[in-house]
């Protein structure tokens, strides 16, 4: 590829596309805030009642905010990802007040671009996976530039549906 988009932007767009695909598969809409917003990259919204494993959510039309990161340097082992988060981001995510629940999503991708998206006439594959966590109520950390956050939940269409169900139950705050 030529000069094109800066690397960081490419990774942002890729990770956003990854999450949008998961949300679309789960039946949710995705919106991006106008203007840069330090603490939120995307809003996921459901329309109407969210159903999960036969259960109907208590409240309708839940919304969830995401802060999105993309990394190839840090990869999961044993189903867990340890990701260094800037202290500012960490504090933003653990504190309130916000108008909706907010989670951190980290998309892990292979090192090289030709490995991240595999296309053929039969299929399009995006590699590799995404993790999520909520830092609400996490402890205060001082004197560190970064905080290593442990993520152990994959973000899949079904998991996103479960998250939105929890939001509609007001159990994910």
Positions in the binding site for another protein (CB under 8 A): 31, 33-35, 37, 39-40, 43, 45, 47-48, 59-63, 65, 92, 96-100, 170, 173
Min dist CB 47 to another protein, Å, is 6
Which of residues 48 and 110 has its CB atom nearest to another protein in the complex? 48
User: What residues have CB less than 8 Å from 1, skipping those under 6 apart?
Assistant: 113
Min dist CB 120 to another protein, Å, is 37
Min dist CB 31 to another protein, Å, is 6
Residue with tokens 């990259």: 41
Min dist CB 51 to another protein, Å, is 16
Nearest to 104 by CA among 68, 141, 64: 68
Taking a C-beta distance cutoff of 8 angstroms, is the pair 96, 136 a contact? yes
Which of residues 33 and 79 has its CB atom nearest to another protein in the complex? 33
Q: Which string of b and e fits 19-28 if b means at least 16 CB within 10 Å?
A: bbebbeebeb
Which of residues 16 and 92 has its CB atom nearest to another protein in the complex? 92
Min dist CB 48 to another protein, Å, is 8
Which of residues 75 and 169 has its CB atom nearest to another protein in the complex? 169
Taking a C-beta distance cutoff of 8 angstroms, is the pair 168, 60 a contact? yes
Q: Which string of b and e fits 163-172 if b means at least 16 CB within 10 Å?
A: bbbbbbeeeb
Which of residues 99 and 120 has its CB atom nearest to another protein in the complex? 99
């Amino acid at each position: 590829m030529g000069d094109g988009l800066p690397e960081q932007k490419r990774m942002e767009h890729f990770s956003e596309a990854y999450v949008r695909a998961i949300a679309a598969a789960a039946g949710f809409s995705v919106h991006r805030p106008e203007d840069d917003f330090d603490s939120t990259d995307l809003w996921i919204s459901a329309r109407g009642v969210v159903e999960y494993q036969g259960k109907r959510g208590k409240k309708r039309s839940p919304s969830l905010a995401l802060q999105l990161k993309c990394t190839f340097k840090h990869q999961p082992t044993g189903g867990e990802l340890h990701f260094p988060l800037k202290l500012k981001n960490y504090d933003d995510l653990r504190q309130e007040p916000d108008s909706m629940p907010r989670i951190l999503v980290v998309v892990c991708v292979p090192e090289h671009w030709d490995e991240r998206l595999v296309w053929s006439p039969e299929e399009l594959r995006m590699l590799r996976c995404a993790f999520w966590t909520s830092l609400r109520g996490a402890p205060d950390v001082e004197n560190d530039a970064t905080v290593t956050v442990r993520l152990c939940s994959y973000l899949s269409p079904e998991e996103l549906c479960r998250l939105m169900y929890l939001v509609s139950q007001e159990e994910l705050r």
